[in-house]
Amino acid sequence: MLEKTYRPAEVEERLYAAWEASGAFAADPRSTRVPYTIMMPPPNVTGSLHMGHALTFTLQDTLIRFMRMRGKDALWQPGTDHAGIATQMVVERQLAEKDIFPDRGQQGAPGQTLIGRDDFVARVWDWKAESGSTITRQLRRLGASPDWARERFTLDEGLSDAVRKVFVRLYREGLIYRDQRLVNWDTKLQTAVSDLEVQQVEVKGHLWHFKYPVEGAENTFVTVATTRPETMLGDTAVAVHPDDERYRGLVGRHVVLPIVGRRIPIVADPYADPETGTGAVKITPAHDFNDFEVGRRHGLDAINILDSRGRLNDTVPESYRGLDRFAARDKVVAEIESLGLLAGIEDHVHAVPHGDRSGTVLEPWLTDQWYVDAATLAKPAIEAVETGRTRFVPKHWENTYYEWMRNIQPWCISRQLWWGHQIPAWYGPDGHVFVAESEEEAAAEAAKHYGRTTALARDADVLDTWFSSALWPFSTLGWPEKTEHLARYYPTDVLVTGFDIIFFWVARMMMMGIHFMGEVPFRDVYIHALVRDERGQKMSKSKGNIIDPLDIIGKYGADALRFTLCALAAQGRDIKLAEARVEGYRNFATKLWNASRFAEMNGCAWDPGFDPAANRLQVNRWIVTELALRAEDIARAVEDYKFNEGANLLYHFIWGTFCDWYLEFIKPVLAEGGAAEQAETRATCAWVLGQLLHLMHPFMPFITEELWEGLTAGQGGRLISAPWPEVQAAACDRDAAAEMDWVVRLISTIRTVRSEMNVPAAAKISLVLKDAGATTKARMAKHMAAIERLARIDSATELSGAVPKGSVSAVLDEATLILPLAGIIDVAAEKARLAKEIAKAEGEMGRIEKKLASPGFVEKAPEEVVEENRERLAEYAAQKQKLSEALVRLSQA
């Protein structure tokens, strides 16, 4: 006997272990079934499950379970990401607490070397070993069913091998190169970050206007403005627009840089906007992206004035050396002022680049870094979407993709970190670079190059973490080996992810997949909404506003959370998760549980040989038909990634049709029907319930598996491996369905009219469909007289056949009159109700009549629309007639 309510905690762990042990998650490359692949976006290996994960993995699991049931050889490839900078930061913080400061000793950063690189990396591996199973354990709690045996990690030997091969090949193809450019430098993390990791933050700052004296011209100044005064120490020019009349005479002359005393040219460059400020702009090639370009055009020096920690270095006047950039800013302003060269200060709101991980102000900084020629790789990736080989769902994300891909900049892939794939490049004593897959290869090349064995130093940097994830769709399948998995499961069917990593990840997988596999990595990219916090803000690790899905799972069960996320996953809108929503769907799970309990109590046992097409009773033929139709709708919804539609169809069918109507209809049959009727009804009830458990399984895997086990007494196999219910054409009886729809509508009408009756729903239904049962009668002694009269009138009505319309409408008419007369409800109240209903019907009629009379409607509207309106008008007219008659009779009585 099932408990009164479902207790998820008691079954989830047991069922999950059983699934995993049964091998149900595993794909089978030897199978004859059609392969279906989803690549799991690898979560941070040392991370923990947040609501965004819960959403994306729920949708993926729902899809993969659905496809598995649809007969596909489904591979959901799991794994984790080493998440370079994020993980390294965590470990550094841990070490800092223990007063062990690592020193990466690069880019001139001073500091103590308490532990070296190898020691540090070993400690990160320790941390990975300690916390690395957290996320996968949490995924299991969610019910995720990937092929765990194939779990990969981006720093695995195989994947690292793929990374080296890709790097070397791209280098040899000229698509990876080393270059000295400005990068976004994080002075706190001591590394370059990519453009995508930069967050522009609106900051209230100032615009300082400085006067630069023109050389050889007494009391002549050029006034420039800046938001970062300290950068003036690195100025190597002032630019004005070539057409700017005000400065025409000054171009080619020089100004003397205050404080520094450097003589710098006034150049003409269209970058200077005559409309902005004074029209003259200071040029600091080493510390501003625009200025860098201007400097390049005019052959200006790029003077790097900062060290890696954002302090002024030895290129600036003595008194500034070693000062922090912000201290230097104040000092520069003060000194300019004291020199009488401060022309003004304005308040100014502007965007300042911040590191999205460190939160510090980033500095454009001149360094040597490795770059990928993204523009070249992007071309075929753009074309793949244009030609529809990869499709975005919803489609409008294609625009986002195009916009970025068409304006893509060189991708800076080197990071000054220790945790990650170390770049496979070695330098000779003269700085000559050897890129190779191994140290031996590099040594051999060097020997050839130098004509003798030469000591090499490996590039200390590691690759951007997204470099390895870009290879994920093929590296996890075994590339560069030609594995059977690679041949069978690539290209994958769909990538499910949030829009926030379209650039970081999706675009790069497209580029790498096409380049190395010659084919797109996925057919569909389903971009789902972001789960936001209550203020509508993006949840992120650095903001610390994460709502823990595990709390929700603990409180309501994994199924409730999963169903909620599916029900809210409408395309194109973000999810602001409300806990009440989860509670509502938890209640839904309980409803399903109790429907099963009802079946169990009534001896409805699963019969594997049951043939729904052989049913005779109308209710049974009806529910089977309804089920078949819904199963089709649900499958279509999931295939179209309309998870909310699928979830809502199930919700309404199970609660609104199966429980509210079917189970109520069969109560009298199970209580008092003939033996054959009862047997058929029990079998049908069990069968329909069983099918519903199938349809529900991708959304709520745990409770359905548990109920299935109970329904089939453990003889039905596991739901996770069961086939999706087929539409039983022979069992579909549209006439029965239509007839029952009519009955349902009729009873609803009676309910509405008779709302004051306050009799139980079951009894109301019983008295319409057949003679009320003995137990019901006993409980209904108070209302017996009226019910018996109704029952006599309705004696011809049989549940097993078509319900004679005349009979039931007679019940309606009688009920309208008898119950008030029998004193069950108040006559005056009933009159008022009838009047109100009549008015309502008249209102509807008026609206429809107006529409039918509107010019052109009958001529131009589709035939069926016109017909539908006429029918509705007739229905309302009939209803009004009936209600009016009842009102008259009630008044006369």
Partner RNA sequence: GGGCGCUUAGCUCAGCGGGAGAGCACUACCUUCACACGGUAGGGGUCGUAGGUUCAAUCCCUACAGCGCCCACCA
Smallest distance from the beta carbon of 443 to RNA, in angstroms? 40
Q: Which segment (278-286, 424-432, 627-635, 820-828) binds RNA by CB under 7 A?
A: 278-286
Q: Would you say 266 and 253 are in contact if contact means Cβ atoms under 8 Å apart?
A: yes
Instruction: State how far the Cα of 141 lies from the Cα of 509, in Å rounded to an integer.
Output: 29
**Binders of RNA in range 681-740 (CB under 7 A):** none
Smallest distance from the beta carbon of 499 to RNA, in angstroms? 7
Q: Using CB under 7 A, which of 83, 385, 869, 883 touches RNA?
A: 869
Q: Which segment (275-283, 326-334, 382-390, 471-479) binds RNA by CB under 7 A?
A: 275-283
Instruction: State how far the Cα of 746 lies from the Cα of 171, in Å rounded to an integer.
Output: 75
- In Å, what is the CA distance from 157 to each residue of 81, 160, 164, 417, 475? 13, 5, 11, 19, 11
x/- map, 601-620, RNA, by CB under 7 A: x-------------------
Structure tokens at 483: 């594995």
Instruction: State how far the Cα of 515 lies from the Cα of 653, in Å rounded to an integer.
Output: 47
Q: Which segment (581-589, 608-616, 620-628, 681-689) binds RNA by CB under 7 A?
A: 581-589
Q: Tell me which residue of 244, 281, 277, 288 sits closest to 344, measured CA to CA.
A: 277
User: Which contiguous run of DSSP H or E holds residue 410?
Assistant: none
Q: Tell me which residue of 330, 228, 320, 332 sits closest to 281, measured CA to CA.
A: 228
Q: Using CB under 7 A, which of 576, 718, 789, 831 touches RNA?
A: 576
762 touching RNA, by CB under 7 A: yes
Q: Would you say 745 and 630 are in contact if contact means Cβ atoms under 8 Å apart?
A: no
Q: Would you say 352 and 487 are in contact if contact means Cβ atoms under 8 Å apart?
A: no
Q: Using CB under 7 A, which of 872, 877, 885, 890 touches RNA?
A: 872
Smallest distance from the beta carbon of 570 to RNA, in angstroms? 4
Q: Using CB under 7 A, which of 268, 547, 550, 659 touches RNA?
A: 659
404 touching RNA, by CB under 7 A: yes
568 touching RNA, by CB under 7 A: yes
**Binders of RNA in range 764-823 (CB under 7 A):** 775, 779
31 touching RNA, by CB under 7 A: no
Region of 432 (left: φ > 0; alpha: ψ -120 to 50; beta: rest) is beta
Instruction: State how far the Cα of 743 lies from the Cα of 768, in Å rounded to an integer.
Output: 9
281 touching RNA, by CB under 7 A: yes
Q: Which segment (365-373, 412-420, 695-703, 858-866) binds RNA by CB under 7 A?
A: 858-866
Q: Where are the beta strands (DSSP E) in 247-377?
A: 254-256, 263-268, 280-283, 342-355, 363-372
Instruction: State how far the Cα of 333 lies from the Cα of 326, in Å rounded to an integer.
Output: 11
Q: Which is nearer to RNA, 489 or 504 (CB)?
A: 504
Render 300-325 in DSSP notation, one character per residue: ------B-TTSBB-TTS-GGGTT-BH
742 touching RNA, by CB under 7 A: no
Smallest distance from the beta carbon of 707 to RNA, in angstroms? 12
Q: Using CB under 7 A, which of 575, 638, 669, 845 touches RNA?
A: 575
751 touching RNA, by CB under 7 A: yes
x/- map, 824-853, RNA, by CB under 7 A: --------------------x------x--
Q: Please classify residue 322 by burial: count the beta carbons closer than 10 Å to its beta carbon, then call 0-12 exposed, 13-18 middle and 19+ buried.
A: middle
Q: Tell me which residue of 595, 707, 731 sits closest to 653, measured CA to CA.
A: 595
Local structure of 20: helix, strand or coil:
helix
x/- map, 71-110, RNA, by CB under 7 A: ----------------------------------------
Structure tokens at 459: 């590039």
Which residues face 335 on adjacent strands? Answer: none
262 touching RNA, by CB under 7 A: no
Smallest distance from the beta carbon of 254 to RNA, in angstroms? 19
Residues 6+ apart with CB under 8 A from 439: 426, 456, 458
CA distance between the termini of the chain: 52
289 touching RNA, by CB under 7 A: yes
533 touching RNA, by CB under 7 A: no
Q: Using CB under 7 A, which of 655, 746, 788, 807 touches RNA?
A: 655
Q: Which segment (91-99, 168-176, 535-543, 809-817) binds RNA by CB under 7 A?
A: 535-543
Sheet containing 176-186: give its strands across.
Answer: 191-193, 176-186, 363-372, 411-412
Q: Which is nearer to RNA, 91 or 768 (CB)?
A: 768
Smallest distance from the beta carbon of 833 to RNA, in angstroms? 9
Cis peptide before 480 (omega within 30 of 0): yes
541 touching RNA, by CB under 7 A: no
Q: Which is nearer to RNA, 39 or 575 (CB)?
A: 575
CA dihedral 53, 55, 58, 62 (to 10 degrees): -140
Q: Which is nearer to RNA, 122 or 578 (CB)?
A: 578
542 touching RNA, by CB under 7 A: no
Q: Would you say 638 and 63 are in contact if contact means Cβ atoms under 8 Å apart?
A: yes
Smallest distance from the beta carbon of 27 to RNA, in angstroms? 32
Smallest distance from the beta carbon of 215 to RNA, in angstroms? 21
Q: Which is nearer to RNA, 158 or 277 (CB)?
A: 277
Number of residues this chain uses to bind RNA (CB under 7 A):
98
273 touching RNA, by CB under 7 A: yes
CB atoms within 10 A of CB 103: 16
**Strands 411-412, 363-372: parallel, antiparallel or unpaired by DSSP?**
antiparallel
Q: Please classify residue 198 by burial: count the beta carbons closer than 10 Å to its beta carbon, then call 0-12 exposed, 13-18 middle and 19+ buried.
A: middle
445 touching RNA, by CB under 7 A: no
578 touching RNA, by CB under 7 A: yes
Q: Which segment (298-306, 372-380, 652-660, 684-692) binds RNA by CB under 7 A?
A: 652-660
Instruction: State how far the Cα of 784 lies from the Cα of 759, in Å rounded to an integer.
Output: 11
Smallest distance from the beta carbon of 224 to RNA, in angstroms? 6
x/- map, 188-207, RNA, by CB under 7 A: -------xx-x-x------x
Local structure of 448: helix, strand or coil:
helix
Q: Would you say 458 and 485 are in contact if contact means Cβ atoms under 8 Å apart?
A: no
User: Which contiguous run of DSSP H or E holds residue 737?
Assistant: helix 734-753
Q: Using CB under 7 A, which of 15, 378, 663, 731 touches RNA?
A: 663
User: Which contiguous run of DSSP H or E holds residue 668?
Assistant: helix 663-672
**Binders of RNA in range 333-392 (CB under 7 A):** 348, 350-351
**Binders of RNA in range 405-444 (CB under 7 A):** 407
Structure tokens at 532: 């936001």
Q: Which is nearer to RNA, 296 or 751 (CB)?
A: 751
Q: Which segment (95-103, 421-429, 518-526, 592-600) binds RNA by CB under 7 A?
A: 592-600
**Binders of RNA in range 222-251 (CB under 7 A):** 224-228, 239
Q: Using CB under 7 A, which of 105, 158, 242, 277 touches RNA?
A: 277
Q: Which segment (48-56, 474-482, 512-520, 751-759) binds RNA by CB under 7 A?
A: 751-759
Q: Please classify residue 626 by burial: count the beta carbons closer than 10 Å to its beta carbon, then call 0-12 exposed, 13-18 middle and 19+ buried.
A: buried
Q: Which is nearer to RNA, 53 or 354 (CB)?
A: 354
Q: Which segment (38-46, 747-755, 800-808, 818-826) binds RNA by CB under 7 A?
A: 747-755
554 touching RNA, by CB under 7 A: no
Q: Which is nearer to RNA, 441 or 660 (CB)?
A: 660
Q: Which is nearer to RNA, 131 or 290 (CB)?
A: 290
870 touching RNA, by CB under 7 A: no
Say what angle helices 117-131 and 84-97 make with each other, to 10 degrees. Answer: 100
